[in-house]
Each structure stands twice: as structure tokens, then as C-alpha cells.
């Protein structure tokens, strides 16, 4: 709010007259509307959850690879579930669903939305999940199997791939 608008607001609230209460009430309603418009102008409207490459910070999911091997990641998770949920089905939702390898030591770019990573067949991954309200470590053991497993990373969550090992858990 600009200084002159604040000055007018104080003057309006100090004016004692019959309509003073209504004037203050109208002013507060107008002020609320102005603040709402200003906030939307500066921050923009929050979009619905998306299955594409963009998202609205700080609600983006991120995947960070702290392991010594690459990790295969994808933008889309086509099913319901929460962070850490996993499935063996491929999460191919649409032809626009991008995938890529995340090299050791790399992370997904800020402002991009990567919703899932793949635990390769025959491997066990150690993963730490961070949400605003919780942190935990989980193992995904595909040792001795010939199928991959895809793991969900919700918007606003971070997944840190801590380690990978073939044949047993790290």
C-alpha cells in the first residue's frame, strides 16, 4: 500500500460522524480488495497441479541425485498417491511427458516439475524425502527382479537419491 493511501485510511478512521462506522467498514472492504489484486499482480495466480515441465515455486517437486550412478526421471505421475508411493507400471501419461537422465551430483532445475524417478531392475535405492512437515528415509529394493519401479515425488516435496547398489541395499 502506498503511503498516501495509508494516510487517507487513517484520516477516514478518525472522522467521527453518523456514517463513520459504515465508512470504515467500506474502507476495510476496499482495502482488502486492493491488497488481493496487488498480491495477485505481484505473485500471479497459483496454477492447478500440472503434469508438465513448469510449476509454481515453492510448490515444485525436485529430485536431487547424491548417488554415484545416474537416475532416470520423468515429469508425469499418472496415478493417485503421495510422496514415496511406487508402482511398477510405466508412468507414460502423454506424448508430451518428458524424461531424462539425472547425472550423479545433479538436481532438477528450479521451476521445473519432475514428479517421479525410476528404481532400476536389480538395484536397491536409498532415498530421503523432505516435505515441509516431514522428513524420512526409505529403501526401494528391486534386487533380484527384472522390473523397474517408479516412485512418486509430490509437488512441494524433495527426493534425495542417497545411494544405489546392484543386488542388495546400500
Q: Which residues contact 48 (CB under 8 A, 6 or more apart)?
A: none
What is the reported pLDDT for 133?
92
The per-residue pLDDT string of the chain (170 residues; one tens digit each, 9 = 90 and over) reads 433 343 334 343 444 444 444 444 444 444 444 333 333 333 433 333 344 456 777 788 999 999 999 999 998 888 889 999 999 988 877 767 789 999 999 999 988 889 999 999 999 999 999 999 999 999 999 999 999 999 999 988 999 999 999 999 99
What is the reported pLDDT for 113?
87
What is the reported pLDDT for 59?
80
What is the reported pLDDT for 44?
39
Q: Is residue 162 a contact partner of residue 126, using CB atoms and an 8 Å limit? A: yes
| Cα 116 from Cα 167, distance rounded (Å) | 22
Domain spans in the chain, listed from the N-terminal domain onward: 3-43, 62-166
Angle at 132 between CA 130 and CA 133, to 5 degrees: 95
What is the reported pLDDT for 22?
42
| Cα 52 from Cα 75, distance rounded (Å) | 6
Amino acid at each position: 500500500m502506498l503511503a498516501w493511501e495509508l494516510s487517507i485510511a487513517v484520516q477516514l478512521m478518525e472522522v467521527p460522524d453518523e456514517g463513520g462506522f459504515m465508512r470504515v467498514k467500506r474502507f476495510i472492504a476496499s482495502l482488502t480488495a486492493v491488497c488481493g489484486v496487488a498480491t495477485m499482480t505481484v505473485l500471479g495466480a497459483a496454477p492447478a497441479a500440472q503434469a508438465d515441465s513448469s510449476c509454481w515455486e515453492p510448490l515444485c517437486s525436485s529430485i536431487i541425485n547424491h548417488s554415484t550412478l545416474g537416475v532416470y526421471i520423468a515429469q508425469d505421475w499418472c496415478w493417485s498417491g503421495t510422496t514415496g508411493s511406487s508402482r511398477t507400471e510405466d508412468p507414460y501419461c502423454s506424448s508430451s511427458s518428458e524424461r531424462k537422465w539425472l547425472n550423479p551430483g545433479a538436481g532438477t532445475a528450479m521451476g521445473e516439475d519432475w514428479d517421479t524417478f525410476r528404481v532400476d531392475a536389480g538395484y536397491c535405492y536409498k532415498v530421503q524425502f523432505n516435505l515441509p512437515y516431514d522428513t524420512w528415509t526409505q529403501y526401494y529394493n528391486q534386487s533380484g527382479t527384472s522390473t523397474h519401479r517408479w516412485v512418486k515425488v509430490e509437488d512441494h516435496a524433495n527426493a534425495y537419491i542417497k545411494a544405489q547398489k546392484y543386488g542388495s541395499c546400500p
